[in-house]
Structure 1
Amino acid sequence: RVNMSNGKNANAAENSSQMTLKECLDECMEALDLFLNNHFNESLERLRPRVNESMYHALIYATVLEMQAMMTFQHDDISNAGNTMKSAQEVCQRFRRKSPTLANKSVGESLNEEQLHAEVCYAECLLQRAALTFLQDENMVSFIKGGIKVRNSYLIYNCGCSQLRSLYKYLIHVHLEGGISFGMGAFNLTLSLFPPRILKVLEFAGFSGDKEYGLSLLHDGATGLNLRSMLCALLLLCYYTFLTFILGSAVYHPCICFRRIMALFEDGCKAQQAWKQFHHMCYWELMWCFTYKRAWKMAYFYADLLSQESRWSKAMYVYMKAACLSMLPKDEARPFGEDEVELFRQVPTLKQKIAGKSPPTEKFAIRKARRYKSPSPVRLQVPVLEMMYMWNGFSMISKRPELTEGMMQTLVEAERTLLESPRNEYSLDDHCVIHLLKGLCFKNQGLLEAAEECFSKVYSSEKKIKFDHYLVPNSLVELSLLYIDQGRRDEAIKLLHKAKQNYKDYSMESRTQFRVHAALAKLKADPGPCISLPSIG
């Protein structure tokens, strides 16, 4: 039965004596099953009675609240989740062996069953509290505190990992293994994705990461029947469905069916009504699906829902509303009588900070919307398609020729309108935006010479571009990926290094740098004459 080794913790042991550790774990698994079947309130009710006496009840209860807080992005929810996770950490602390820590091998060998579980639960509490700290607070003291939590968590996972694996021989090992897989997998995967200059600083501070090792740990955790299976699976989904697109290393299925995908997202909205935030994730994906189909009013509809219901990035949602409306003919009625110019003017007033900084996509949207400040604004030519590039949309449609052809028609029409309009200070930049996006369409169509010409036009215009400085390094990256597909390895490496070293302080710089790092790492790992890497677009 759950027991403590110190008399000081007798109360905790007495309170927990009614349930064995196995019984606690079994009940927490039942609560997670309820959560995964959309019975959110019932799940919390099952956990709540023992949050002050069971480390696992406390941790899982706090984890559910943290997931809710990250989706609602409400200050009260974030604060409540932080306080609950702090309480969970205190519960775990009561079960831990007193100092020295697990990193001391002689101490690790003397840990009993509960103390081994408590170490992993405690490390997980630290990690989740750090995430909430970065999400909520913006001052430097909070960042330092969050960094300390991350480091302490990492040390427990890293220093204790081999000892936990070798020492623990109890029947409930699957949950302990799952905890280690989640913690070590998350750290290794996340750290491995940072560009070298950031990674050097982290390695100096004692951090290191191996992507393949991290992915294998998370896969092991996700496929096992343990309390962290859901967290491991969510992290893997985040990596494969989001980060790989940003890094330009995603793999696309040639038979992707948007109709089926859209039906699944619509079904997801019908599955439950308790946590509307799950609907918002579906709205976001549906917005892009309709964008790929150039159904501008439907894309606007979902952007409008997001702008009304979600707190995550109102600047982004309103920008997308305006961008969708701007793609409609001038004489076509706007839904709800809205005006894209007024919406663009609202965008800068809606910016927010996450982890102390404004999200890069919000900064990009604000910069693009600035030209609408003027009483006589110069309209953006293809703002939806430009933002679609930032979210990897052109690669998403690369196996759907009819969708690529539709995008090309839109770009050709925009180019014709631009050529027929009086020149202004934005004209050159607008032409370069169209060249970049046309290059991506040509690449999707297999017209590689035409694509190369488009990317090269942007690069040759470097000194003339006034506002959209992100275009040049991104064109170099797209050109390098084109060269990789053609087996022109040395030329590709040269361009990647140029994009990496010669350009600073442009929109979405971190995303471009991550892509450069990923492409160079892929080239280094595969010394063959030719490998295929999808572009961000």
Structure 2
Amino acid sequence: AGVRSGWAIMSNGKDAHTKDNPSKGSLKESLDDCMEALDLFLNNRFRESMERLKPRVNESMYHALIYATVLEMQAMMTFEQDDISNAAATMKRAQEVCQRSVCPLLEVMEQLHAEACFAECQLQRASLTFLQDENMVSFIKGGIKVRNSYLIYKELHSYIQSKDSLVGPSHLHLEGGVAFGIGAFNLTLSMFPARILKVLEFAGFSGDKVYYIYSSSIFTFSSFSLYIFITVPPLYLVQTSSCMLRFRTKLCMYVMAVCLFEDGCKAQQEWKQFHHMCYWELLWCFTYKQLWKMAYFYADLLTKESRWSQAMYVYMKAACLSMLSKDESRPFGEDEVELFRQVPTLKQKIAGKSPPTEKFAIRKARRYRASSPVKLPVPVLEMMYMWNGFTMIRKCPELTDAMMQTLLEAERTLAAAPGNDYSVDDYCVIQLLKGLCLQNQGRLHAAEECFNNVEKKIRYDHYLVPNALLELSLLCIDQNRRDEAIKLLHKAKTNYKDYSMESRTQFRVHAALAKLKVSPTEQEEMTRM
């Protein structure tokens, strides 16, 4: 692992390339050609882009890497085993091309580029390893690849910052690639809670916090959306890209976003999987506007076309239908109770684990197994909380006001119904979501009261108490009540375990403590209190 062979030929920081080296000029030519292929891809001309890359995949590291990356993107979107296997084999060949490029016959700058490309291949092969097999051997192999990739990026970054660093015509490409690689690792590491970070540091990982515009709303992204964002270079250069249209929309208010997402679908028809990303966002756009049948429509499209999370899509279909009144007609004659009952049968595993959101949906759907099921009060809004939706509508008071009316109606319905095993849990769900709406409205005292109303006598939805403590701590932060916020965060962090979406809550707690700049010493003092 690490930056290996070619560095030995450097002498006093000077380039060891000679005029007889047959590779002279090939690096610049490869980069220029790959940039043109990338432009074709980002302008939705996918087939032309691949045809441009393919002839040189066995000789040029950048052609090999980008060609393999596109195939991996396709595999991650289709989730088909044949596509995953093809991408894995192509990425392995790309790594071999990179390895051949690290040799004493080539100039130092090209060797450095080869190391960076090798590190990227290692990282992408690791992700495919996790998808291909679910056994422990695969996890270990994938983990080793991730660690090797990190160490290479780390050494390249140290070299680039040193006084011996070479500067040539392709240096900006190298510097950008390495900075992006090490920055992505650092950002990821900075978001881990301390207990996980200790294990990672033992394995050789370390990192400083790095922020970018998307990090503040990271949990509104699907994992694949984030993957696209971190693997595709400057998308802002290509305004008509179907990828770009989606990410531009993230910067707009959701009430104004529908047209842009629809444009994202119209921009190209070759890769339908990009449409699925837009369908997912359109589902939430219409959820925020409480247009339940339109939200259902996009959830239904996803169940028909996407393999990513059938359990989640069917749950959202059922949840949208359950928000309709009894008298309203159901699209396609579907019944929400039957849909909820299907959810547990649709769970999947990725890297040997069921996605946390699917586990959450399955737990919520369990109450519908009974012959006389107890209706969930506001399942769409509850799932919306899990995807950070109340933060997304904070700047849209009309949407928050409409949400509050829906929650008040649900509260009245619950109060008028006979008590049952789920009554306390349902009351606490409504209180948590009401608190979020009140906080958005600036009614902080009322919001605090709602968060405090979340009881500890919950029977099923144990995630509610630590999340109520978290939201109350964030409210305290907004009011400069630092000490109180730290106590609440510590309580949420240490007193509750093994609840739904625990990792998500722990990440948010960790981020809040970091925002308050709570030192390890302070945290230890809290532990003793």
Correspondent of 1:522 among 515, 518, 524: 515
Q: Per the alignment, do residues 498 and 229 of structure 1 end up closer, same or farther by CA in structure 2, a change over 3 Å counting?
A: closer
Q: After TM superposition, give the deviation of residue 232 of structure 1 in Å.
A: 5.1
Deviations 1:100-140 (A, max 9, x none): xxxxxxxxxx9623222211111111011111112332111
Structure 2 residue 498 is matched with structure 1 residue 492: no
- Aligned residues: CA RMSD: 2.5
AA partner of residue 496 (structure 2)? Y
Distance 1:158 1:279 in 2: 36
AA partner of residue 70 (structure 1)? M
Correspondent of 2:100 among 84, 94, 102: 94
Contact 2:133–2:351 (8 Å) recurs in 1? yes
Q: After TM superposition, give the deviation of residue 169 of structure 1 in Å.
A: 2.5
Deviations 1:458-517 (A, max 9, x none): 0xx20x210000000000001111111122111111000000000000000000000000
AA partner of residue 28 (structure 1)? C
Structure 2 residue 473 is matched with structure 1 residue 472: no
Among all aligned residue pairs of Structure 1 and Structure 2, give the percentage whose two residues are the same amino acid.
75
AA partner of residue 301 (structure 1)? F
Correspondent of 1:133 among 129, 132, 139: 129
Aligned residue runs from structure 1 range 397-436, under 5 A:
397-436=393-432
AA partner of residue 387 (structure 1)? M
Distance 1:164 1:137 in 2: 36
Structure 2 residue 177 is matched with structure 1 residue 179: yes
Moved more, 479-488 or 318-327: 479-488
Structure-2 residue corresponding to 1:530? none
Aligned residue runs from structure 1 range 332-371, under 5 A:
332-371=328-367
Distance 1:273 1:350 in 2: 28
Contact 2:101–2:110 (8 Å) recurs in 1? yes
Structure-1 residue corresponding to 2:232? 231
Structure-1 residue corresponding to 2:261? 265
Distance 2:23 2:362 in 1: 57
Structure-1 residue corresponding to 2:276? 280
Structure-1 residue corresponding to 2:523? none
Distance 2:83 2:424 in 1: 46
Q: After TM superposition, give the deviation of residue 389 of structure 1 in Å.
A: 0.7
Distance 1:42 1:516 in 2: 46
Aligned residue runs from structure 1 range 42-441, under 5 A:
42-97=48-103, 112-164=108-160, 166-212=164-210, 231=232, 257-441=253-437
Distance 2:283 2:36 in 1: 35
Distance 2:475 2:90 in 1: 50
AA partner of residue 397 (structure 1)? I
Q: Per the alignment, do residues 17 and 35 of structure 1 end up closer, same or farther by CA in structure 2, a change over 3 Å counting?
A: same
Distance 2:151 2:393 in 1: 43
AA partner of residue 443 (structure 1)? Q
Structure 1 unaligned blocks of 5 or more? 6-13, 99-109, 219-227, 236-251, 527-537
Q: After TM superposition, give the deviation of residue 44 of structure 1 in Å.
A: 0.5
Distance 1:518 1:342 in 2: 39
TM-score (normalizing by structure 1): 0.84
Distance 1:371 1:229 in 2: 39
Structure-2 residue corresponding to 1:104? none
Distance 2:291 2:316 in 1: 13
TM-score (normalizing by structure 2): 0.85
Contact 1:129–1:149 (8 Å) recurs in 2? yes
Deviations 1:82-114 (A, max 9, x none): 11000000111111138xxxxxxxxxxx96232
Correspondent of 1:33 among 9, 18, 39: 39
Q: Per the alignment, do residues 428 and 481 of structure 1 end up closer, same or farther by CA in structure 2, a change over 3 Å counting?
A: same
Contact 1:188–1:208 (8 Å) recurs in 2? yes
Moved more, 111-120 or 361-370: 111-120
Contact 1:371–1:378 (8 Å) recurs in 2? yes
Q: After TM superposition, give the deviation of residue 69 of structure 1 in Å.
A: 1.2
Distance 2:452 2:431 in 1: 9
Distance 1:73 1:230 in 2: 18
Q: After TM superposition, give the deviation of residue 354 of structure 1 in Å.
A: 1.4
Contact 2:322–2:336 (8 Å) recurs in 1? yes
Structure 2 unaligned blocks of 5 or more? 1-5, 8-19, 216-228, 237-249, 520-529
Moved more, 365-374 or 89-98: 89-98
AA partner of residue 79 (structure 2)? F
Contact 2:42–2:235 (8 Å) recurs in 1? no
Q: Report the 3-state secondary structure (helix = DSSP H, G, I; strand = E; otherwise coil) of the residue aligned with 1:505.
A: coil
- Runs (4 or more) in structure 1 with deviation over 4 Å come to 16-19, 232-235
Distance 2:314 2:255 in 1: 26
